[in-house]
Amino acid sequence: RMRYLALPIELESNALKMNNSEFTVDGSNVRSDNPYYHYFGATDGSARPDGIIVEPLITDAVEYFAFADPNQIDTIEVGFLQGRQAPEFFLADNPLVGSMFTNDRIVYKVRFEFGATVLDYRGMYLQKNS
């Protein structure tokens, strides 16, 4: 069963209409129950449901991804180096050494090391129209 829908910005309004409409109307104006009504979560209209994820990095306006409920199937696993699940920030601010001394410049360094892999492809789906 699908639980999450990841899609580009261009498909957001269609996904919200699909999720929030109690009925559907086909080409001949026949009204029927919408099987996707609140399928991705109910909302009061001011927020997007939890199950609809708008991802600006998806650049193809006709493609979307569907993911199963992670409680039903392990689909993706993310591992963190030495268990650090947050980025590490380093600051070179010693006024007697380096660019702080020569250029009055503070240098920041950020390190965030992780890896991800697919555990079971059956828990995800890509719809790509050509």
Residue whose tokens read 């660019």: 99
Classify 24 as helix, strand or coil: strand
Q: Are strands 124-128 and 63-68 parallel, antiparallel or unpaired?
A: antiparallel
Predicted TM-score (pTM) of the model is 0.68
Percent share of the chain, pLDDT over 70? 94
Q: What are phi and psi of 3, to 5 degrees?
A: -125, -35
pLDDT of residue 46: 63
pLDDT digits (tens, 9 = 90+) for 28-69: 667 788 888 888 888 766 677 889 999 999 988 889 999 999
DSSP state of 52: E
Rounded to whole angstroms, the Cα distance separating 69 from 67 reads 7
pLDDT at 128 over 90: no
Q: What is the mean pLDDT of residues 88-112?
A: 81
